[in-house]
Amino acid sequence: MTNKIDGVGLGKLLNTRQVKRMVASYVGENKEFARQYLSGELEVELVPQGTLAEKIRSGGAGIPAFYTHTGIGTLVETGGIPIKYAKNGDVEIFSQPHCTGVFNGKRYVMEESISGDYALVKAWKADELGNLVFRASANNFNAPMATAGKVTIVEAEEIVPVGELKPDQIHIPGIHVHRIIKCEKNEKKIEKLTVRQDQAGEAGLPAAMQKRIRIIKRAAREFKDGMYANLGIGMPMLASNYIDPGITVYLQSENGVLGLGPFPTRGEVDPDLINAGKETVTVLQGGSFFSSDVSFGMIRGNRIDMSVLGGMEVSQTGDLANWIVPGKMVKGMGGAVDLVSASGTRVVVTMDHCSKDGSPKILKRCTLPLTGVECVNRIITDMCVFDVVPGKGLLLRELASGCSVDQVRAATGCEFTVASDVAETF
């Protein structure tokens, strides 16, 4: 499903070449995973993370297939995502087109469910009947996966007598569990230890990072009091550190957290409390934890008011590309395709205006595979703020300090109009 760290978990099977195909949403930091995929040694079926969660949940519930709007207009629908590369870099196997259907005038793709011969699950506590409790954000995919295997094998940190777990605290009932193993070595690796930076630490950051912080601080002004928001991996997530202290924003993370707080101090670090980018986080009072399938139900159900995402390219009509450079770099879709497919969610993209070689990243048409079609509402770069106006294109709303309209025009790969009140605002 997913494998993020070299030599850990499924990484051990990758290293011994015992995995033929992975169905995954995100490659993460596993360099061996990416190397095997790009060199043709490993087949990888990339799936949007919310779709993957629902495939597993549906498989466990005996539902053979379902319809979702996630991926409409992208390679998820049309096929063509590389599954297997040849050694010379050509693609041997592409994903196939999906069946589609129309419901209430809206197009959806059909996705087949997933179940397995075995499900391997990690739990915090299990009783002798197999009832399971997960701790904090470690619920994630464990809960739906526990229901989707013909044989479910659970590694538990603690096995307790029947009756010690209160019925209303059990996440997975024992009917789904076949074997329990006591965890002998409970070493919890943290993929991205992230702690709070003070102002002195921020001032000492490289110039490139300080430029990004200017983008992040401007993005933080998009938050409104009482808003439910989702922040993407990387630059968008840092915006949580600059939320106006006079407002309350409820941050949701795809891996099953609502009420994210700032990054922890070193003394607050908890390996079971991470965000979707695998960074250590905190949770505010009133926060909650849940499984990944529940999390993406919130997203598809238009419960999230705004999503802030990174971008590789954005088109003048609001198409977004941010997950793969074919044959060179594969991040995986993660939850981005799900987030931009929710019609009720405002999508704000934060990005450098130009690539490292100076070429524009805002274009007439995206050249990379799309994350979503006409899904972006606002673009915030180190030079300016654009709004995407449906049916009209880009409108230049704001300028960064020291940037002129002519400079923005020279750095942008498409036409745009200029608001009458455009000014330097950040």
Number of other residues whose CB lies within 10 A of the CB of residue 341: 28
Residues 295, 281: Cα–Cα separation, whole Å: 17
Residues 373, 330: Cα–Cα separation, whole Å: 20
Residues 62, 26: Cα–Cα separation, whole Å: 26
Number of other residues whose CB lies within 10 A of the CB of residue 20: 9
Residues 371, 349: Cα–Cα separation, whole Å: 12
Task: Indicate the DSSP class of residue 180.
Answer: E
Cα–Cα separations (whole angstroms), residue 412 to 43, 271, 310, 361, 383: 37, 42, 17, 7, 10
Distant-in-sequence, close-in-space partners of 13: CB < 8 Å, separation ≥ 6? 19
Catalytic residue among 43, 222, 254, 279: 254
Q: Would you state the structure tokens that stand for residue 344, as one six-digit string?
A: 């009720």
Contact call for residues 127 and 174 (beta carbons, < 8 A)? yes
Q: Strand, helix or coil at 10?
A: coil
Residue 254 a catalytic site member: yes
Q: Taking each helix axis as running N to C, give the angle between helix 292-300 and helix 49-60, from 0 to 180 degrees, rounded to the nearest 10.
A: 120
Q: What are phi and psi of 254, to 5 degrees?
A: -60, -25
Long-range contacts of the stretch 387-390 (C-beta < 8 A, 24+) = 388/316, 388/317, 388/318, 390/318
Contact call for residues 282 and 264 (beta carbons, < 8 A)? yes
Cα–Cα separations (whole angstroms), residue 52 to 56, 66, 109, 191, 297: 6, 12, 14, 22, 12
CA-nearest of 349, 291, 21 to 136 is 291
- Cα separation of the two ends of the chain: 42
**68-94 exposure pattern, b = at least 16 Cβ within 10 A, e = fewer:** bbbbbbbbbbbeebbbbbeeeeeeebe
What is the set of active-site residues?
254
